[in-house]
Amino acid sequence: MRTWNKTVGSDFILMGLTDSAEMQLALSVLFLMTYLMTVLGNLGMIMIICLDRQLHTPMYFFLTHLSFIDLSFSSVITPKTLVNLMTSTKSISFLGCFTQTYLCVLFAGSEISLLSAMAYDRYVAICNPLQYPVIMSSRLCWALIAGTYMIGFVDCSFTVFSIARLPFCNSNVIHHFFCDIFPILALSCNDTYVTQIVVYICGGFTLLQSFIIMSWSYVSILSTILKIKTTSGKQKAFSTCASHLLGVTIFYSTTTFTYLKPKKSYSLGKDQVASVFYTIVIPMLNPLIYSLRNKEVKNAFFRVVQKKGGSWILK
């Protein structure tokens, strides 16, 4: 068979979500609005945390990196998806396709690990409040952040390298709206069993270590909350981790459904819906989840607005 991925200038064709012109127009408007809200929400969150000194704590330090990862994750996929929806050009170069896959796995793996680091931060805050400033030192926070990006880097490097070595022939049409792992594997001429094992091991390890840390953290948190005698105390303790728990549930359910299931149960329609959710929708939802349920972020927003508004008036 002729392997065309070795030639210079070879392209993949992204089929997208639908062939209907009306649906493409509707989706392009919806995705554009979603992406604009993602950019504004995540950049706004980063700016508020950076500008307000009262938010210079470990929890908001991690939240800043979550906003950065969400913004980067969405930017890797959504602009190209919008171009494909709005124009007749649906091709993506071999290098561009694997770069997109690489960055997607990088940011997805980093976000999963970051969510576990945030769970540990909540565990220390609720279970060891007096020792919280000592335990969650600046050095530990930076070490945890470095670890999250390192896990994402190792995950994407092994995954994408194993896929890129495969020969692709007969068809260059990817039945998806971005260069996702399993739609690319479907184009390979060779048996992809070993590559799938690599994907499952890398993704499974990242999810498993994160799941263990979060399960241990939240079991300890729940045990501590149940020991609190007052109802107001229980509500205050639970409110500190409710937003994180909601974000974790949404992200984990969609990524696990998409990647950690047997190939036989692969369904293009269902996987595309799940992919839209965790690549385009969730990066928009996270700033809303963490800001609307957080009085400190709201208060910081008004302090920043008043401070900047006052400085503009003085000028």
Please give the helix or strand (H or E) that residue 298 lies within, else none.
helix 295-314
Confidence band for 260, pLDDT divided at 50, 70 and 90:
low
Rg (CA), the chain: 22
Q: Six-digit token pair at 288?
A: 């809303």
Contact 148, 113 (CB under 8 A): yes
pLDDT at 219 over 80: yes
Point out the least confidently predicted range of 150-164, 185-199, 291-305.
291-305
Q: Which CATH superfamily is domain 11-314 in?
A: Rhodopsin 7-helix transmembrane proteins (1.20.1070.10)
Task: Render pLDDT for 173-197 as a digit per residue (tens, 0 to 9).
Answer: 888 899 988 888 888 888 888 888 9
Residue 10 vs residue 274, higher pLDDT: 274
Residue 267 vs residue 161, higher pLDDT: 161
- Looking at residue 254, what is its pLDDT? 72
Confidence band for 9, pLDDT divided at 50, 70 and 90:
very low
- Looking at residue 53, what is its pLDDT? 83
pLDDT at 1 over 50: no
Residue 93 vs residue 143, higher pLDDT: 143
- Looking at residue 170, what is its pLDDT? 63
pLDDT at 281 over 70: yes
Please give the helix or strand (H or E) that residue 14 lies within, else none.
strand 11-14
Contact 77, 31 (CB under 8 A): no
pLDDT at 224 over 70: yes
| CB contact set of 190 (below 8 Å; sequence gap of 6+) | 166, 167
Read off the pLDDT of each residue in 268-277 and give the average, rounded to a whole number: 74
Task: Render pLDDT for 103-127 as a digit per residue (tens, 0 to 9).
Answer: 999 999 999 999 999 999 999 998 9
Domain boundaries, the chain: 11-314
Share of residues in the chain with pLDDT > 70 (%): 86
CA distances from 173 to 27, 167, 219, 240, 245 (A): 21, 14, 46, 46, 38
pTM over 0.85: yes
What is the C-alpha to C-alpha distance for residues 13 and 179, in angstroms, rounded to an integer? Answer: 10
- Looking at residue 16, what is its pLDDT? 82
Confidence band for 269, pLDDT divided at 50, 70 and 90:
low
Share of residues in the chain with pLDDT > 90 (%): 34
- Looking at residue 2, what is its pLDDT? 42
What is the C-alpha to C-alpha distance for residues 120 and 109, in angstroms, rounded to an integer? Answer: 17
